[in-house]
Every structure is written in C-alpha cells, then in structure tokens.
C-alpha cells in the first residue's frame, strides 16, 4: 500500500472518531411543538456518551417518563418541574446505579448532573447550576 492509501485510511479513522465524539454530545429536545427561545427553556447536561476514561459517568435515561436516545448527553426542557432518571457508572469497580432526580428548572438556565461517588460506588446524583 502506498503513502496515499495509508493517508486515506488515517483520514477516514480520524473522521470516524470525530463523528463518534460529536454524536456523543447531542442535545435532545424533550417536549413537543416548536423550539423554545433560549430564554424560555432549560438545558440539563450529563457526561459525554464517549467517556474517554472518566472515572464516573452519568447518563440521562428518561425525562418525565420519556426515553432519551443513547447519543444524547444534554436535554432541552421547558422550565418547570421534571423527573429525570439517570444512571451513574463508576469505571474502576464497574458499579452501575440508577437514580431519580426531581428537578425544578428555571427559564434560560443551564444545569449539570454531578455524582457523589467513591472509587467503588455512586452514592447520589444531584443537579447543580452550570
């Protein structure tokens, strides 16, 4: 295989890695109807789908009973009360726990899910201002 062939394979690999990383940063809109202006919605962020070795990873599984796609690391919601079902995984032990987070979201705000964890286990997941 010549230099051009190796270069094309390398470029293809880089594009595939970039596509996977971008897919892992998707935002899923969790309401019906037209998109809300930034000042009328809230964003809740978990960890990227591709964890790149994070010791603890949080994934959003459901919001208000609605399944969240595997590629989503953020959800866009209208302001108000919401129930989030999240998974917390500790890489070192392989421990996986599921938590319910009751959230009161304000318009125009960004939030982040964070874990209270040890090297062996997730103890809790909470929502903080981002």
pLDDT at 94: 92
In the chain, helix, strand, coil percent, each to 5? 20, 50, 35
Rounded distance between C-alpha atoms, residue 9 and residue 79, angstroms: 46
The tokens for 53 are 């070795």
The tokens for 41 are 């919605």
Mean pLDDT of the chain: 86
| pLDDT tens figures, 53-106 | 789 999 999 999 999 999 999 999 999 999 999 999 999 999 999 999 999 999
pLDDT at 54: 83
Query: Can you spell out the DSSP letters for 32-87?
Result: SSSPPPGGGEEEEE---SS-TT-SEEEEEEEETTEE--TTEEEEEEESEEEEEEEE
* Phi-psi sector, 33: left (phi>0), alpha (psi -120 to 50), beta: left
pTM exceeds cut of 0.75: yes
| pLDDT tens figures, 22-40 | 444 799 999 999 999 999 9
């Amino acid at each position: 295989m010549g230099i051009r062939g190796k270069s094309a394979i390398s470029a293809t690999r880089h594009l595939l890695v970039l596509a996977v990383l971008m897919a892992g940063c998707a935002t899923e809109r969790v309401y019906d109807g037209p998109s809300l202006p930034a000042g009328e919605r809230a964003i809740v962020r978990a960890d990227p789908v591709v964890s790149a070795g994070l010791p603890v990873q949080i994934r959003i599984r459901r919001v208000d009973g609605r399944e969240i796609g595997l590629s989503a690391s953020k959800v866009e919601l209208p302001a108000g009360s919401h129930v989030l079902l999240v998974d917390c995984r500790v890489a070192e032990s392989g421990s996986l726990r599921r938590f319910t987070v009751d959230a009161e979201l304000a318009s125009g705000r960004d939030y982040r899910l964070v874990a209270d964890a040890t090297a062996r286990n997730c103890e809790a997941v909470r929502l903080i201002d981002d």
